[in-house]
Structure 1
Amino acid sequence: MIGRRGFMASASAAALALPAGFARAAPQGAATGYRIRVRPVPLESVRLTEGPFLRAIEANRAYLLSLDPDRLLHNFRAGAGLEPKAPVYGGWEARGIAGHTLGHYLSACSLMHAQTGDAAVRERVAYIIGELAACQAAQGDGYIGGTTVERDGKEVDGKIVYEEIRRGDIRTGGFDVNGGWVPLYTWHKVQAGLIDAVRIAKVDAAMPVLIGMAGYLGTILEGLSEAQMQTLLKAEYGGLNEAYAETYALTGNPRWLRIAEKIYDHRVLDPLAGEQDKLAGLHANTQIPKLIGLARIYELGGGEKDHVAARFFRDVVAHHHSYVIGGNSEAEHFGPPDQLSKAITERTCEHCNSYNMLKLTRHQYGWAPDAALFDFYERIHLNHVLASQNPDSGMFAYFMPLSAGARRTWSTPHDSFWCCVGSGLESHAKHGDSIYWHDDAALYVNLFIPSVLDWEGAKLSLSGDYPFSDTVTIEVNAPMDRALALRLPEWSDAPRVRVNGETVRFQKRGGYAWLARKWRAGDRVELVLPMALAVEPMADDPGIVAFTHGPVVLAGDLGPDTDPWESLPPALVGASPREAVAPVDAAAHHFRLNGAKPQAVELLPFFNRYDRRTAVYFPSFTPARWEQESAAFIADQRAQQALKKRTVDQIDIGEQQPERDHDFALNHADLQSWAGKSGRLLPWGKGNFVEFTLAVRPGPMVLRALYWGEEVNKDFVILIDGKKLAEERRAVPPLKEWTSVDYAIPAGWTAGKDKVRVRFETAGTDCRVYEVRMLEAEGRGTSV
């Protein structure tokens, strides 16, 4: 066995001995991605001009430069035995997942430098690389990391988890490894940040740090049996397979590709390779990066099953698991396909999911350019990603709520650092990366974002107020022989093209207007895309509809987000939803729902309702049906509002963030899902438990647990702060539906407290726990 210092020295020496400039040049052969037919123009060749995407870039750049790298480096230095230079940030950075933001920050600063040319953000990258190199040298074996884990009541450096894995000691509940909060997920973010520092920011000093880091974990993974590996991969590991594939692409060393291929979760990926949708109940963003990794492995020489799995997954998520804005998941989880009507809540569309779906879509497009893929890409990019950053503050949203009356919850500068802050930092550093694509014959224009292109002799400027104008103008600023291929969105029925002021006929290829000619400096191309109003019904309930106008998803504007909202959700009553809509200013995407009850509603673009309450989906009724069903509809909505007002706290068991937010703990409890809901299965026996903290208020409290109605004849206990609240037998007739049970809590158990510890523990059988709420008892002013 090579000693720690010996390993580090050999890894660094090997990296430093590479030919000059090696870190910047991909090797020849499979490592270049020979299955890729079209590629994006390099980000550094694109500069954005005035418009909402440039404003997003500028807000993000200001936030990136406001952050202190030394605070993000705190745990890395402390873990290496070096004195931290600044205190750690709050939020997730003050918890076991610390360090993930640093990886995102490296990627975001690298992307921002390429997008804008700003030297200051690249200097941040170079500084962090120097600090990580010092931490790595102090560790002596290639390791760098910022995660922590609890041992014997103390928070210690997370490296201990990796050494336990090396010895074959692997325990996971799905969102942890040996008690550490998704350490492999954080590892991926840092390794990916180093890759971007090399590949995009061109900081060559990052290469030996990357090789040392990859070698440390790689040696551990290489030593695991297949069974041990599959146990480890039950935990969320981000795009770790992609990171090793990209390391191979940078170096040409087949070792890294072998490790990438070993990081293969058979439980999830085999059904996808067999074109089976078994996603219901799975944590969405745990899965998407796995498929991005498979896509990259396929490009670098992987098998056909990698291609099939990645393509099938993207297609099935896009067409059967996505909402009108293109985002997916409710409370971070996939539900059954084409069954979203009951999942329109305040916790829809995690941003990380959309960030990753865009990455996966780029891979699929590269294999076979199809304009329909960029129709989907644009739907997400405009209506979800752009909506997820507040351009005034530069802060980010975790979920994109679609329910009536919902508002966006924004991060804070120093005390959030959620996963979606990290992906937000990257998303809003690279809005120019997918506008222009190329092959040997053509330059493809896929997005209509105002920008200037200067690449390999091709000099273009794209202008216009799209999507608030239907005309996109492209000016050719230098002679060019390549054809121009302009995306023709499916939503536009009668697109037109003018060249130098004259309407021209064009060849249509794969959803593109194909314009082949010798372009001269001064040529001007205008693409006119008439926009029409469209109604998008829910697949499982066509009576629930959303509206789009061209590429823009519309939303009912329900007032400022600072005002409380206790009204009924707008419902449409009329012969058809389309007839309920009247234009106010179609160019501004402003319409009015005159047929809405209880009153007319203004429809405006969803993406820029940053500080407003909105409604995206609307239940619709014919007049006769409204007369028959309105009383039941109103009563149901009032009941939901009353429950929301009574709810003091709620935990969705089996979901990563709610569990972390409620100090979740367990001894034996597996992740599981049923009927689209996540949960935990406590195995048959005695003493298996889950426990968590819920907030309480003064006055009588009720604990409400959600069960699947067929889970009967049980024996488990529910405890509050160690006192037995109930011994639940579930001796009731089985029902094929969700059912709630309320447990009144003795007043003295919560008096003078603001939170209690709740525990579910087996007393003889298994136990399945899903959603648990702490409610105010009825009759305490909860009417609405």
Structure 2
Amino acid sequence: MMLKTKALHTVFLLLVSSVSWAQMQSFALQDVKLTGGPFKNAQDVDFRYILALDPDKLLAPYRIDAGLPLKAPRYGNWESVGLDGHIGGHYLSALAMMYAATGQPELKKRLDYMVAELARCQTQNGNGYVGGIPQGKVFWERIHKGDIDGSNFGLNNTWVPLYNIHKLFAGLRDAYQYAGNAQAKQVLIGLGDWFIDLIKPLSDEQIQQVLRTEHGGINETFADLYILTNEKKYLETAQRISHRALLNPLLEKQDKLTGLHANTQIPKVIGFEKIATLTGDAGWSDAAQFFWQTVTQTRSVAFGGNSVREHFNPPTDFRAVLKSNQGPETCNSYNMLRLSKALFLDKADPGYLDFYERTLYNHILSSQHPEKGGFVYFTPIRPNHYRVYSQPETSMWCCVGSGLENHTKYGELIYSHAPNGLFVNLFIPSVLRWSEKGMQVTQTTDFPYKNETELTLKLTKPQAVPLHIRYPKWAGRFEVLVNGKPQPVVGNPSGYVALDRTWKTGDKITVRFATSTHLEYLPDGSNWAAFVDGPIVLAAKTSTEDLKGLFADDSRMGHEAKGRLYPIDKAYALVGDAGTYDARLKPVGKLRFRLDSLMLQPFYEIHDARYQLYFQTLTPAAFEEQKTRLKQQEAEALAREAKTVDKVNCGEQQPEVDHQYKGEKSDSGFDEDGRFWRNTRSFISYQLQNKNRLGSQLQISLLDTYKPDRVSILVNEQPADILSSEGKEIVIRGDGSEVMNVRIEAKTGAPTPRFHQIRLVRE
């Protein structure tokens, strides 16, 4: 309960622990305008990137599928190799949210044009369907008839079709909700009704079989259709297309995430949470909270990201994350922020904001080049590696789609409101116009470079509106002043301080606090740690050499930083007694710290460079032993990579897509050591690139013993010339071709051994 007083200018400050979920609401993006700082700059840079894209090129896949003539050729990259049309859905969302945030008329013009063109494609198709999926009509007809052969990312040998079409569902929803485009609502309803008819003949078991393949948050968008129409069939469909293989363990509070493709799972959970709010199902909401808690507390690195090579690593072992050039994926954080926002509005627990703020500053803000534009896919934590940035004409990755959206909506949770007042959640320079209350709040701040923010009020008339200021978990010496007069602060961090007062125009609230710098260790309990000041993760630029592919070309894996891997044993380490590590930092300016020869600064400021974000902490004796061991391990690993011309990790999504995976009656998974695999009762095949014809051998590793009587291997349709096959390793002579198609067939119809990796090497 909030304490009140009859005295007009008396102020009470207390911590609010909870507010009814049904009452906490975010403000519309139209109500909050950014006024400066790095977030406003990121919004402006994203605006230019959005305008650099051609709507007719993005619409081309939809026109192809509808049989309409092209107005422009489609984009290349992922938009021409199976995921055709997915950026178009993201683009609708980005246009709608950026228009809401800025009011720029060109954005509305483009949005209305795209929706009208999609409506035309829908009319041409004649059944409510509209999509850019290659051979979409044939594909969906097979599904309608129950002809289903799916894996984690391939459904009937089509690349994540439900994930693809989910982007259009979400884009149409956003076009209506954020920009008021009524035609988008009608196209969305038509598309939803088509989908309900599509799956009507399927049993629940068949639906779950379809859902094995990555499908984004399609359950969430059907929950949204229910909100828009109040028709129960949409909510029933949302429940029916919720993936039980993920949901059931979460309902039992079981963490079964290790080895799963991370971004496949997060959108499903957003759907579980939304369905829970609509049905009152506490179990589903508890499952979403358990997932969030598990990912944020045991599976995330300091900047909020998670995963290695797109998959959840074991929470007890982050070694693969430290070694890989494919670190946490930006799409994951995009979706974790959406889940955090949903849970915050549901539970009104500011603890969700601690993660939201950390990830917003350190992963999302850092994932766009602040001057040249371009979005980051992987953010490695490997010492002395770097990131790659997309370009409008060459890059059509999933993290481009979510990246277009990320920087449009920074205003979504700076403030929120409830019947018991206004909540200030983030310290970002902005103006809030709360027309319902006749109130304007101007927030002026240089945070995180200065630990202070000021709120200036403007009202149509004096009124009592309780004002709640977030007291962050990381804040020390928290002070609040009203019109220059200090107020007593009661309570602890990770809550709200409430000001209950009748406000008038010109009133000013000043908030001051302190931050401290500390080491934050990886969740696995290892001796790798990052420096964090308040919510800001610090890192050091280490080199600008060999930044191969810094701005991506249109190659299939252009989003991966393929420059030389610097040996981990050469990385800077913190050597000494544990209590001395923090003391080594010497402040030299605004969020600048000298660490011996290194300069630490906010990670989001570091671009066009290699960096070190995590540091190993060692005693002097452990340092010498570790250095020798790591040197040998690194030398062996780097030598093997130097001999590798191409490789595919069987059972991992991106490597398989990159190598033109095809298969039937196939299963995939991972073993207790976190190694991925794939087997088949029919066939599987991959296409490896033999650049400059350097590869002379194919080295195939299995998790089971190779038995020639059960497996047939072909290279470019010819029986493989097997040089050796000892235990779980097969060596095959290469045929000298520039492209090697490796096909593995089950001879008897029984499952083959589990294949782990196929590596093309030069010997």
TM-score by length of 2: 0.89
Distance apart, 1:630 and its partner CA = 2.5
Q: What secondary structure is seen at the aligned counterpart in 2 of 1:477?
A: strand
Distance across 2 between alignment mates of 1:493 and 1:397: 33
Contact 2:308/2:320 (<8 A) preserved: no
Structure 2 partner of 1:574? 576
**2:452 pairs with one of 448, 468, 471:** 471
The one-letter code sitting in structure 2 at the alignment partner of 1:81 is G
Structure 2 partner of 1:407? 386
Higher alpha-carbon deviation: 101-110 or 465-474:
465-474
Q: What secondary structure is seen at the aligned counterpart in 2 of 1:476?
A: strand
Instruction: Please tell me whether residue 555 in structure 1 is matched to residue 539 in structure 2.
Output: yes
Contact 1:70/1:85 (<8 A) preserved: yes
The one-letter code sitting in structure 1 at the alignment partner of 2:518 is A
Instruction: Please tell me whether residue 508 in structure 1 is matched to residue 491 in structure 2.
Output: yes
The one-letter code sitting in structure 2 at the alignment partner of 1:611 is D
Q: What secondary structure is seen at the aligned counterpart in 2 of 1:169?
A: coil
Distance apart, 1:707 and its partner CA = 4.2
Instruction: Please tell me whether residue 78 in structure 1 is matched to residue 71 in structure 2.
Output: no
Distance apart, 1:498 and its partner CA = 2.2
**2:591 pairs with one of 589, 592, 607:** 589
Distance apart, 1:169 and its partner CA = 1.2
Q: How does 1:107-126 map to 2 (within 5 A)?
A: 107-126=93-112
The one-letter code sitting in structure 2 at the alignment partner of 1:690 is S
The one-letter code sitting in structure 2 at the alignment partner of 1:574 is G
User: Alpha carbons of 1:519 and 1:702: their partners in 2 closer, same or farther (altered >3 Å)?
Assistant: farther
Structure 2 partner of 1:374? 353
Higher alpha-carbon deviation: 183-192 or 754-763:
754-763
Q: How does 1:318-467 map to 2 (within 5 A)?
A: 318-344=296-322, 345-455=324-434, 456=436, 457-467=438-448
Structure 2 partner of 1:712? 705
Q: Which runs of 5+ in 2 are unaligned?
A: 1-19, 548-562
Q: What secondary structure is seen at the aligned counterpart in 2 of 1:529?
A: strand
Structure 2 partner of 1:146? 132
Distance across 1 between alignment mates of 2:588 and 2:483: 27
User: Alpha carbons of 1:676 and 1:397: their partners in 2 closer, same or farther (altered >3 Å)?
Assistant: farther
Structure 2 partner of 1:526? 510
**1:210 pairs with one of 164, 188, 204:** 188
Distance across 1 between alignment mates of 2:346 and 2:189: 29
Structure 2 partner of 1:18? none
Contact 2:586/2:595 (<8 A) preserved: no
The one-letter code sitting in structure 2 at the alignment partner of 1:520 is K
Distance apart, 1:294 and its partner CA = 1.0
**2:77 pairs with one of 91, 102, 122:** 91
Distance across 2 between alignment mates of 1:662 and 1:227: 30
Contact 1:682/1:767 (<8 A) preserved: yes
Distance across 2 between alignment mates of 1:172 and 1:659: 14
Q: Deviations over 1:555-602 (max 9, x none)?
A: 1321225457646222221112753653444553222333xxxxx332
Contact 1:170/1:232 (<8 A) preserved: yes
Instruction: Please tell me whether residue 617 in structure 1 is matched to residue 601 in structure 2.
Output: no
Distance apart, 1:499 and its partner CA = 2.1
The one-letter code sitting in structure 2 at the alignment partner of 1:367 is D
Distance apart, 1:717 and its partner CA = 5.3
Q: Deviations over 1:407-465 (max 9, x none)?
A: 11111212221111000111111111111011111211111111110012221111211
Higher alpha-carbon deviation: 498-507 or 392-401:
498-507
Instruction: Please tell me whether residue 688 in structure 1 is matched to residue 683 in structure 2.
Output: yes
Q: What secondary structure is seen at the aligned counterpart in 2 of 1:73?
A: helix
Q: Deviations over 1:317-371 (max 9, x none)?
A: 1111111111111111112234223422221111111000001111111122222
Distance apart, 1:731 and its partner CA = 3.4
The one-letter code sitting in structure 2 at the alignment partner of 1:59 is V
Distance across 2 between alignment mates of 1:676 and 1:184: 31
Q: What secondary structure is seen at the aligned counterpart in 1 of 2:477?
A: coil
Distance across 2 between alignment mates of 1:300 and 1:544: 42
Q: Which runs of 5+ in 1 are unaligned?
A: 1-33, 149-156, 595-599, 733-740, 778-784
The one-letter code sitting in structure 1 at the alignment partner of 2:432 is L
Instruction: Please tell me whether residue 774 in structure 1 is matched to residue 755 in structure 2.
Output: no
User: Alpha carbons of 1:731 and 1:662: their partners in 2 closer, same or farther (altered >3 Å)?
Assistant: closer
Q: What secondary structure is seen at the aligned counterpart in 2 of 1:508?
A: coil
The one-letter code sitting in structure 1 at the alignment partner of 2:338 is K
Contact 2:659/2:688 (<8 A) preserved: yes
Distance across 2 between alignment mates of 1:579 and 1:105: 46
Distance across 2 between alignment mates of 1:293 and 1:676: 31
The one-letter code sitting in structure 2 at the alignment partner of 1:612 is A
Instruction: Please tell me whether residue 494 in structure 1 is matched to residue 477 in structure 2.
Output: yes
Distance apart, 1:728 and its partner CA = 7.1
Contact 2:315/2:523 (<8 A) preserved: no
Contact 2:89/2:168 (<8 A) preserved: yes
Distance apart, 1:647 and its partner CA = 3.1
User: Alpha carbons of 1:767 and 1:531: their partners in 2 closer, same or farther (altered >3 Å)?
Assistant: same
Contact 1:48/1:450 (<8 A) preserved: yes
User: Alpha carbons of 1:745 and 1:621: their partners in 2 closer, same or farther (altered >3 Å)?
Assistant: farther
Distance across 1 between alignment mates of 2:259 and 2:176: 37
Contact 1:37/1:368 (<8 A) preserved: no
Instruction: Please tell me whether residue 724 in structure 1 is matched to residue 712 in structure 2.
Output: no
The one-letter code sitting in structure 1 at the alignment partner of 2:26 is P
Q: More relative contact order in 1 or in 2 (CA 8 Å, sep 6+)?
A: 2
Contact 1:132/1:144 (<8 A) preserved: yes
Contact 1:51/1:450 (<8 A) preserved: yes
Distance across 1 between alignment mates of 2:694 and 2:128: 55
Distance across 2 between alignment mates of 1:258 and 1:561: 55
Structure 2 partner of 1:780? none
Distance across 1 between alignment mates of 2:538 and 2:84: 38
Distance across 1 between alignment mates of 2:545 and 2:428: 29
Contact 1:649/1:775 (<8 A) preserved: yes
Distance across 2 between alignment mates of 1:58 and 1:539: 35
Contact 1:717/1:727 (<8 A) preserved: no
Higher alpha-carbon deviation: 664-673 or 445-454:
664-673
Distance apart, 1:249 and its partner CA = 0.4
Distance apart, 1:773 and its partner CA = 2.9
**How many equivalent residue pairs?**
715
Q: What secondary structure is seen at the aligned counterpart in 2 of 1:267?
A: helix
Distance across 2 between alignment mates of 1:561 and 1:37: 53
User: Alpha carbons of 1:81 and 1:337: their partners in 2 closer, same or farther (altered >3 Å)?
Assistant: same
**2:465 pairs with one of 482, 488, 497:** 482
**2:731 pairs with one of 732, 743, 754:** 743
TM-score by length of 1: 0.87
Higher alpha-carbon deviation: 163-172 or 628-637:
628-637
Distance across 1 between alignment mates of 2:757 and 2:540: 30
Structure 1 partner of 2:741? 757
Distance across 1 between alignment mates of 2:482 and 2:746: 74
Q: How does 1:99-110 map to 2 (within 5 A)?
A: 99-110=85-96
Contact 1:654/1:678 (<8 A) preserved: no
Instruction: Please tell me whether residue 313 in structure 1 is matched to residue 291 in structure 2.
Output: yes
Distance across 1 between alignment mates of 2:685 and 2:80: 24
The one-letter code sitting in structure 1 at the alignment partner of 2:41 is R
Structure 2 partner of 1:13? none
The one-letter code sitting in structure 2 at the alignment partner of 1:125 is L
Distance apart, 1:545 and its partner CA = 1.4
Structure 1 partner of 2:698? 703
Give the superposed CA RMSD.
2.2
User: Alpha carbons of 1:495 and 1:98: their partners in 2 closer, same or farther (altered >3 Å)?
Assistant: same
Q: What secondary structure is seen at the aligned counterpart in 2 of 1:767?
A: coil
Higher alpha-carbon deviation: 348-357 or 296-305:
296-305
Distance apart, 1:701 and its partner CA = 3.8
The one-letter code sitting in structure 1 at the alignment partner of 2:731 is Y
Distance apart, 1:723 and its partner CA = 4.3
**1:665 pairs with one of 644, 662, 667:** 662
